[in-house]
Structure 1
């Protein structure tokens, strides 16, 4: 039995319009079972990218390198 699937089923049972949830994970695969409303990516404790469920799908297909490059580019001062 897949432990991530069991956790996801428990989370889905608790989901309701009256309840907000925050799921923090390093396991992209859990998003096969839990469909998020929003996806936020954190690097070094800062949110560097936000989007909808499509962001989670893109991360699974392309990995995180493109976000790291994007975050590094934004961190460089323009007058440097």
Structure 2
């Protein structure tokens, strides 16, 4: 959560970053393809989609199968709640 939109979320919703870091520490590499939903104090829900195993600019980091899985999970979750 060090750049772009993720960094903006980190700045505005520090509890989201705290939960994210705790989850990464506890589960590490087992998070790929998973989704973590965190509700903020102002009632918004932030979805952390775990679709890359690393970070950097030297090579493509996004695992597109994992990203598809995350989007499907998110769609299923939203569909069930409506």
What TM-score, normalized to structure 1?
Answer: 0.33
Between structure 1 and structure 2, the one with the greater Rg is 1
Name the structure with the higher helix share. 2
